Amino acid sequence: MKLRNALQGKQPGPPGTLSRPVRLIQHSVSPEPKAGRLRRLLGLDEQGQSMVEFAFLLPVLLMIVTGICAFGLTLSSDLSLTSAIGTGGQAFLETMHTTSPGDACATAYSAVIGAAPTLNPNGISLYFNFNDGAGWIQENSCATETSTLTALMGSSTPAEVGMRATYPCSLGIYGTKFASQCQVQAFINEKIN
């Protein structure tokens, strides 16, 4: 009877009482599957997987961000140069009838440099091209065209002056140049009355 009670989970009480059930505390520990144990032993656990993927993608992401920044700087140089050439053209027209041609050119060059403070002044090249009514004269710097400019200023026919400014740009990312002869250019044509 004791054996049967023990198998049924009953414990005999004091004489004259009913037997009461006994709660057996069982700890259920399921064994680790063989595949999971093998993955853990071989280091195939997924805990560091996202870090490894990020380490592979980080250089690519940095190159993309750096490329965007380099392109943004080149675009900024282009906008600054375009604005500056407009200012230089206005300064040239304002001073060409009151000063000598060389001074008008120097004033225009100073105005271009002053209007583009973010650009290196040594990198800005300014070229002039004059139209005397018969056609455009070959483009040169202002110093070599003073005689032509003097003749244009004394003529009664309308003439034009064209200005072109160039500035070198760098489209390189981590030592790799994507455009070896990169130059930002801006043009303006003004009528001389």
Q: How many domains does the chain fold into?
A: 1
pLDDT higher at 145 or 104: 104
Residue 82 predicted with pLDDT over 60:
yes
Residue 23 covered by a domain: no
Residue 121, amino acid:
P
128 in a domain, yes or no?
yes
State how far the Cα of 131 lies from the Cα of 138, in Å rounded to an integer.
9
In a domain, 6, yes or no: no
Mean pLDDT of 111-134: 84
In tens, the pLDDT along 152-193 reads 666 655 577 788 888 988 777 777 777 777 888 898 888 776
User: Are 22 and 5 in contact, with CB atoms under 8 Å apart?
Assistant: no
State residue 105's pLDDT score: 80
Give the three-state DSSP class for 103.
Answer: helix
How do residues 92-107 score in pLDDT, each as one tens digit?
Answer: 888 877 777 677 788 8
Closest CA to 172 of 77, 59, 63, 75: 63
The answer to whether residue 123 scores a pLDDT higher than 60 is yes
User: Which pTM value belongs to this model?
Assistant: 0.64
**In this predicted model, which residue has the larger pLDDT, 117 or 134?**
117
84 lies in some domain = yes
Q: Which residues span the domain enclosing 188?
A: 60-192
Phi, psi of 102 (to 5 degrees): -65, -40
Q: pLDDT tens for residues 26-62?
A: 656 566 566 666 666 666 666 677 888 889 999 999 9
